[in-house]
């Protein structure tokens, strides 16, 4: 079911793809792998750039399949990729890596399945996004309180136990006191505290992680859409912040260390 938040988010996810792939011809990227495909919205936009695209999500329940001829869907753990060595020309993820508890294991798997002349793009939230997540939390709750049905659904799950929607490897309890956790914003990714997450979203930290795992970040794009974690339009505020040069995510364009990719010409 598409929610108001999904509709809000899709607008920015579409713009993300438009900015990144605007110079890429159809079918130019060969064999592709999308990690963390979620509801499959970006998969529909990505498909035209590949001969074949495998779209993955952590569980079948989270993976929404769409009827696209050159797309295959597969449930798999991004930390344990079940694909052959040198299988892919291109790997893409958007807002996924920050959710992985063992990022080194995930990157090792990506290194294995990516061809030596392949390319990766990973889009991840930055510290501006995290700051906005804290700053706008209570305005978001106020807005939610006017939509009683959605607010009640968020506070009370149907099952006694469920997974954390932000971090599916982590179980969370469903009880009568579950609403108490919403008095303070939840941690978004696989971090122990908000401060650890704020530090973890720094660009230098990700550059170091990629380098430690035998990758080279050849370019960081800081012109991604400015968006908060909530469906608060705030268009005037967004316009002002964009003019100040702020963005809420970075796109890391990556090759294997010491290797060159012919695909890089489309992303310069």
52 forms beta bridges with: 31
Instruction: Report the alpha-carbon distance of residue 251 to residue 96 in Å, rounded.
Output: 12
Instruction: Report the alpha-carbon distance of residue 131 to residue 3 in Å, rounded.
Output: 24
- The second-level CATH assignment, the architecture, of 4-127+195-266 is 3-Layer(aba) Sandwich (3.40)
Q: What is the mean pLDDT of residues 166-187?
A: 65
94 forms beta bridges with: 123
pLDDT of 226 over the 80 cut: yes
pLDDT band at 8 (very low <50, low <70, confident <90, very high): confident
pTM of the prediction?
Answer: 0.87
Model confidence pLDDT, tens digit, residues 50-90 = 999 999 999 888 888 888 999 999 999 999 999 999 999 99
Model confidence pLDDT, tens digit, residues 132-162 = 889 888 888 887 777 655 555 555 444 444 4
**Conformational region of residue 95, where left means phi above 0, alpha means psi within -120 to 50, and beta covers everything else:** left
pLDDT of 47 over the 50 cut: yes
- Do residues 77 and 103 lie in contact, with contact meaning Cβ atoms separated by under 8 Å? no
**Mean pLDDT of the chain, nearest integer:** 86
What pLDDT sits at residue 165?
A: 53
Domain locations in the chain as residue ranges? 4-127+195-266, 130-183
């Amino acid at each position: 079911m598409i929610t108001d938040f999904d509709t809000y988010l899709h607008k920015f996810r579409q713009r993300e793809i438009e900015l990144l792939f605007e110079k890429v011809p159809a079918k130019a990227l060969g064999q592709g792998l999308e990690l963390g495909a979620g509801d499959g919205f970006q998969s529909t936009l990505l498909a035209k750039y590949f001969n074949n695209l495998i779209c993955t999500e952590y569980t079948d329940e989270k993976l929404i399949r769409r009827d696209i001829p050159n797309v295959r869907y597969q449930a798999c753990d991004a930390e344990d990729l079940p694909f052959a060595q040198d299988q892919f020309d291109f790997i893409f993820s958007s807002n996924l890596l920050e959710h992985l508890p063992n990022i080194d294991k995930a990157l090792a798997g990506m290194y294995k399945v990516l061809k030596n002349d392949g390319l990766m793009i990973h889009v991840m939230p930055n510290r501006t996004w995290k700051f906005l997540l804290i700053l706008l939390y209570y305005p978001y709750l106020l807005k939610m309180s006017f939509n009683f049905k959605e607010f009640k659904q968020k506070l009370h799950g149907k099952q006694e136990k469920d997974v954390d929607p932000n971090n599916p490897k982590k179980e969370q309890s469903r009880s009568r006191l579950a609403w108490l956790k919403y008095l303070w914003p939840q941690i978004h990714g696989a971090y122990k505290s908000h401060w650890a997450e704020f530090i973890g979203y720094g660009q230098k930290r990700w550059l170091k992680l990629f380098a430690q795992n035998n990758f080279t970040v050849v370019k960081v794009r800081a012109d991604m859409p400015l968006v908060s974690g909530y469906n608060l339009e705030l268009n005037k505020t967004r316009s002002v912040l964009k003019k100040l040069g702020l963005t809420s995510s970075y796109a890391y364009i990556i090759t294997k260390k010491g290797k060159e990719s012919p695909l890089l010409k489309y992303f310069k």
